[in-house]
Chain A
Amino acid sequence: MYDKYMVLREDIQSVIENGVGTGFNVKLRIPYYRGVFLSLVEDISVTFNNTVFTRDQLKFTVGGDTYTFEEMATISTLRWEYGEKATVFVPLKGGIPLGLHRIEVSVTIRISYLGGGRPFTVVLENVCPMGG
C-alpha cells in the first residue's frame, strides 16, 4: 500500500516565491506501519528526472515546523505520525517546468528490530504538476 499511497500525484507542487520558482514540495506519508520520532527518519532522497537531491539539500516539514536532517537526527521527542503527510522541499531551480517528469522518492526509517534502515522507494512517472 505504501507504493500507492506514500506520495500522491496531486501532492507534488512547485514552490513560487516572488514570482520565481524556488523548487517543489512533495508531501509524503511514512512507509512504515507506525509513526516514529524524527531521529528515526534516517534518510530521504528525491530524484527529479536525472537530478538527485540528497538529505543535506532537502528540508522536512512536519507538525507545522521545518527541519534540516541534521536537526532531526537528534530529535527524539517530536514525531512524524502514521498516515500524516510531511512535506519535503526540493530546491529545484525554477520549480517544475512544463512537461512530463519522473520523480523518485526514497525514504529510510531506522527500524530497531530489523537492526537498521531499509530504503523504501516509489517512482512516479509522467508527473505534470503544472498541468502542462
Chain B
Amino acid sequence: MSIKRGVSFYSYQQAYYKGQYDLEGLIRTTSEVVGAEGIELLAEQTPVGSYPNPSDADVDKWFGWMDKYKTKPTCMDSFIDYLMFKGRVSTLKEQVQMMERDLRLAARLGFNVIRVLCPVRKEVVEASIPIAEYYNVKMGVEVHSPMMIHARWMEEYVDMFERSGSKHVGIIPDFGIFQKRPARKLLQDALKRGADEKALDYIVEAFENGTDIHRIIQELKQRNAGPQEMQVAMSLIRTRPSKPEELRDIAKYLLHFHGKFFEMDEYCSETSVDYETPIKIMKELGFNGYICSEYEGQRLYTGAEEADEVEQVRRHQVMLRKLIGE
C-alpha cells in the first residue's frame, strides 16, 4: 500500500466556469489526460445532477462514469454556510443539519471522506459524529494556511477527537501550509513590471528563513519599497508555514491531503511549495490515503493571459508519481 493520487476538481474551475468542460468531461480528462485515479469533488461547484439531492438516475450516471473512466470518489468538500441568512448566525442544530445534508450526499456518491472547512466550529463536528458514523463517512477538518498544525484551534479539535474516540473524525492538511516562497510567475511578473530584484530576493530569502511576513513588510517599508515589491510580500500575508515534521504529531488523524499548488514549471517541479519533505514523512508514516492535486494558480494570470489548468495538473501528477516512487 502506498500514497494514492487524485485531483480536486477545484483545479479546473476556470474551464468549467467558461463552459469548456462538463462534469463528465472533467472526469474523462482526469483519467485520460492527467493520469489520476482519485476524484475530489466540490459538490457545490461541479454538482452531480443537482445539489444537494441528485436524482437516482444522476447518481447512477456518476457511478457509470467512475466505471467507464476507472476513477474513484475520494473526498467531497463540504461548506457549512453558517451565515445562510442575513443578520444572524445559523444555530448549532441548523449547522448540524447542513453537515448531515453533505454526509448523506457523500455517502450516496461513494465518498468516504468529506472535507470540513477549518472555520467550522468543533461543536458542529462533534455533534455530527453519530451521523457520520451512521453514513460511514469521515469528517476531515482541513488545516489551511494561515492555520497551522499546532494552532490552538486545531489542538482543541484534536482534544475533541480524543475525547470522542470516534474513527469518523480526522484531519486533512492542505499543502499550502508548506509554502516556502511566492510562485515563480508572481516574481517574474513583478520583475517585468519593474520591481527591484534585490528587494524580491530579500522577500524570498527572509520568508524561507522563517521571518514573519509582517516583519518583512515592515522592513520593506523602511527600505521605501514600491508597490511592485509590496504586492509580492502581500501575496504571503495569509501564508504561515507549518513544519512538515509536525505531521508526525497528528499522524493517527490524517485522512487525506489537499495537494495545493500554484505553479508547476516545465520540469514538473512546484515553484513555491515544499512537496519533497512532507511526502517523505507521509511515506515514513505509512500514509496510504489520497493526495489530490488542487491547482490555485489561476489568480496569477491577468488580462488576456490564462492558466492552462489541465497541463498544470498533469505536471503536478508527474511530480507526485515521482515523489511517491511509483
Contacts and interface: CB of A to CB of B under 8 A. Distances in A.
Interface stretch (A18-26, A108-116, A118-126): A108-116
A76 interface: yes
B82 A33 contact: no
B13 interface: yes
Interface string A72-85: 01101001011100
Q: How big is the A interface, by class? A: 20 to 34
A67 interface: no
A58 B67 CA distance: 46
Given A34-B44, A36-B44, A82-B44, A1 B14 contact: yes
A37 B84 CA distance: 8
A40 interface: yes
Given A1-B17, A29-B17, A33-B13, A82 B46 contact: yes
A83 B81 contact: no
B117 interface: yes
A110 B83 contact: yes
B18 A35 contact: no
B19 interface: yes
B117 A35 contact: no
A39 interface: yes
Contact of A76 (B42, B51, B80, B85): B85
Nearest to B82: A112
B262 to A, nearest CB: 15
A74 B84 CA distance: 9
Contacts of B45: 33-35, 82
Given A35-B44, A36-B44, A113-B117, A82 B85 contact: no
A1 B80 CA distance: 25
Contacts of A1: 13-14, 17-18, 298, 306
Interface in A93-112: 110-112
B84 A35 contact: no
Nearest to A79: B51
B16 A82 contact: yes
Given A33-B10, A35-B45, A112-B80, A83 B19 contact: yes
Contacts of A42: 86
A112 B86 contact: no
B44 A110 contact: no
B178 to A, nearest CB: 21
Interface string B1-17: 00000000010011011
A83 B9 CA distance: 14
B81 A112 contact: yes
Interface in B218-232: none
Contacts of B16: 82-83
Contact of A40 (B42, B80, B81): B81
Nearest to A2: B17
Interface in B75-123: 79-86, 117, 119
B47 interface: yes
Contacts of B81: 36-37, 40, 110, 112
Contact of B18 (A5, A73, A111): A5
Interface string B134-170: 0000000000000000000000000000000000000
Q: Which of B83, B85, B117, B306 has the most chain A CB atoms closer than 10 A to its own CB?
A: B83
16 contacts: A1-B14, A1-B18, A5-B18, A33-B13, A33-B42, A33-B45, A35-B47, A40-B81, A40-B84, A73-B85, A74-B85, A82-B13, A83-B18, A110-B86, A112-B83, A115-B83
Given A1-B18, A79-B51, 19 more contacts: A5-B17, A33-B10, A33-B13, A34-B42, A35-B47, A37-B84, A39-B86, A40-B83, A40-B84, A42-B86, A73-B85, A74-B85, A76-B84, A79-B50, A82-B16, A82-B44, A82-B46, A83-B18, A110-B86
Interface of B: 10, 13-14, 16-19, 42, 44-47, 50-51, 79-86, 117, 119, 298, 306
